[in-house]
Amino acid sequence: MDVTTTVEVGGVTLGVEHFGDDTAPLVLLAGGTTMLSWPDALCAALAGGGRHVVRYDLRDAGASTTLDPAAPQYTLRDLAADAAALARALDDRPAHLAGIGVGGMVAQVAALDHPAAFSALTLVGTRPVAPGPADDDLPDHDAATMRRLFSRSKPDWSDRAAVAEFAAAGAEILGNDPAAAQERAGRTWDRTPGTGPAVQMANQLGTIFAALDCTPRWRERLTDLAVPTLVVHGARDPFFPVGNGRALAREIPGATLLVLEAATAIPDAAAGEVAVAMLGLGEPRAGLLPARACRNTR
């Protein structure tokens, strides 16, 4: 099964895509912000490992409810509630929740606010605090990379090719695969309603979250997490440098840390390794040690 559709939860429409057997245990992948942040190869590998995989768009992205991305009328906790409601709508059993980038922030709050909904947690390329200035002990965005990324002239958002080329150039600045980013941006453009401001927001890192109410802080609550947790982070991530992943793994009880030779995106070449780690979450595996025992596996 590989089906794209929508699900209504709490008066919100969420765009979802299914992989694998819908009777298998659920792995719910929160996009950051679009579901296409999650590589097809990883979704297929998880489904091949006997999971029902569902990746979904956050609000104001892709096929999900889109109103005014520049002024969101919801909070981070609302997005966390969306994740819990979607998990319950898809399966009576607790789900393995995963979030990438800003979706990883959603996943942290969802697991804290709705612990009964989730059986495991995977956090990819994210950090334990909201967008904006980082805590003093956390490495902030690489300033030179951010200047290059955000000082570029914006494309014509109604021109699919221009948007895809803009994404490819941004990926090169970040250290990701430009060809993969170009293809993904084109697919995002194709499935985003309006081909205007919504596409623009979906393709700019963190723009929606910059306007989002992310209070109260949740970092101090991470010690309350009681589910097996995997933290995956790129060693060369300039947006949320790897020290953020190390902090998450250190502060979440029993968490496992997997450091990839990557930047902000999960390369297709690493999809199998990440899938194995996710499928084995909670089980000791060679090369994947609890963070308190080994804070950097690479």
Would you place residue 4 in the very low, low, confident or very high pLDDT band (cuts 50, 70, 90)? confident
Of 137, 114, 128, 123, the C-alpha closest to 218 is 128
Here the tokens at position 146 are 């951010």
Residue 184 has pLDDT above 50, yes or no: yes
DSSP code string of 231-293: EEEETT-SSS-THHHHHHHHHSTT-EEEEES-SSS--GGGHHHHHHHHHTTTS-BTTB-BTTT
C-beta separation of 38 from 97 below 8 A:
no
> What is the rounded average pLDDT for all residues in the chain?
89
- pLDDT at res. 290: 43
Pairwise pLDDT comparison (63 vs 267), residue with the higher score: 267
Question: What digits encode the pLDDT tens for the residues 55-114?
Answer: 999 998 888 988 877 788 899 999 999 999 999 999 999 999 999 999 999 999 999 999
C-beta separation of 278 from 271 below 8 A:
no
2-135+192-279 classified as CATH 3.40.50.1820: yes
Positions of E strands within the chain: 2-9, 12-19, 26-30, 52-56, 95-100, 118-124, 229-234, 256-260
Query: pTM of the full predicted structure?
Result: 0.92
Segment 158-184 mean pLDDT: 94
Segment 112-141 mean pLDDT: 96
Instruction: Count CB atoms within 10 A of the CB of residue 110.
Output: 29
Would you place residue 252 in the very low, low, confident or very high pLDDT band (cuts 50, 70, 90)? very high
Q: Give the least confident one: 107-116, 204-213, 244-253.
A: 204-213
Would you place residue 293 in the very low, low, confident or very high pLDDT band (cuts 50, 70, 90)? very low
Residue 282 has pLDDT above 90, yes or no: no
- pLDDT at res. 2: 64
Output the furthest CA–CA distance in the chain (Å, rounded): 50
